[in-house]
Amino acid sequence: MRSFIPWIGGKSQLAKRIISEFPTDFERYIEVFGGGASVLFASDKHAPIEVYNDANGQLVNLFRCLKYHREELQKEIRYYLNSREMFQDCRNRLESSGTTDIQRAAMYYVCIKISFGADTDSFGCSPKSLDTTRFEDIEKRLEHVLIEHKDFEELIKQYDRPNALFYCDPPYHTTEKHYSERFAEADHYRLNAVLKALKGRFILSYNDDDFIRELYKDFDIKAVERQNNLSQGRFKEVIIKNF
């Protein structure tokens, strides 16, 4: 199944390719940089323990409200429409303290859906729908998925076991500014150090970049390509594994 939101750097186009690298014998699956969770939704290789994680608190609140308060969230979203004024209003009110989690989740959903390229920052000027009919299927898929809100390092150490499979899709090197959570050069090194010490297995996606190839030169690196979402042409990426 597809995700219910578009997301910057989302892996819907590469999901099947990434899933084809999954081993068959993992007992826990952890999506460390969750975003729109394209790979988790696309995969039918379910594990007894599945975890979605992201450092973005608004996004995690949206996932949790969809999982635990799906009907209420749908009711709340019904009152929004695709207009510039409503978009600005949602953006401003998101940071105010006088709203409930469900209201914040609805406003964040609106911001993602009707912003330009899902950047949540600028009005998209396109006739996108705020339809929520797929929410029931998404709620069912999330039924047994743990939703975490942690920095990647703490999360990976918490769930690491020999039978674990981690899918890591961090902000790409040199494009980190697209996300609300700050991701610095030091964080790429920090991720590399945690993954090098891993007991379990990991699959990592990145942009095809000299810095990343050097950092992961001891691992299996495969070059892949996908259609560029924001402009014409192809975008080069890599899939890196420790098995």
- Of the pair 5, 102, the CB lying nearest ligand SAM is at 5
Structure tokens at 25: 């014998």
Closest CA relative to residue 60, chosen from 19, 31, 81, 22: 31
> Residue type for 242, please?
N
**Nearest distance from C-beta of residue 152 to ligand SAM, angstroms:** 4
Q: Are 210 and 238 in contact (CB under 8 A)?
A: no
**Which of residues 26, 28, 36, 87 is near ligand SAM by CB under 6 A?**
36
User: For the chain, percent helix, then strand, then coil, each to nearest 5?
Assistant: 40, 20, 45
Q: Does 43 engage in binding with ligand SAM (CB under 6 A)?
A: no
Q: Which range, of 112-120, 156-164, 176-184, 225-233, touches ligand SAM by CB under 6 A?
A: 176-184
- Of the pair 81, 189, the CB lying nearest ligand SAM is at 189
Strand, coil or helix: what is 87?
A: helix
Q: Which residues contact 158 (CB under 8 A, 6 or more apart)?
A: 150
Distance CA 110, CA 127 (A): 13
Q: Does 41 engage in binding with ligand SAM (CB under 6 A)?
A: no
Burial of 177 (0-12, 13-18, 19+ CB in 10 A): exposed
**Which of residues 7, 87, 166, 206 is near ligand SAM by CB under 6 A?**
7
User: How far from each other are the two terminal CA atoms of the chain, in whole angstroms?
Assistant: 27
Site pattern 132..151 for ligand SAM (x: CB under 6 A): -------------------x
Q: Does 35 engage in binding with ligand SAM (CB under 6 A)?
A: yes
Q: Which range, of 32-40, 77-85, 102-110, 212-220, touches ligand SAM by CB under 6 A?
A: 32-40
Closest CA relative to residue 219, chosen from 195, 194, 189, 186: 195
Structure tokens at 54: 């992201």
Q: Does 202 engage in binding with ligand SAM (CB under 6 A)?
A: no
Residue whose Cβ sits closest to ligand SAM:
35
Q: Does 38 engage in binding with ligand SAM (CB under 6 A)?
A: yes
Q: Does 171 engage in binding with ligand SAM (CB under 6 A)?
A: yes
**Which of residues 169, 188, 212, 215 is near ligand SAM by CB under 6 A?**
169
Q: Does 115 engage in binding with ligand SAM (CB under 6 A)?
A: no
Q: Does 118 engage in binding with ligand SAM (CB under 6 A)?
A: no
- Planar angle of CA 181, 92, 179, nearest 5 degrees: 15
Q: Does 56 engage in binding with ligand SAM (CB under 6 A)?
A: yes
Chain residues that interact with ligand SAM, rule: CB under 6 A: 7, 9-11, 33, 35-38, 54-56, 151-152, 169-171, 179, 181, 183
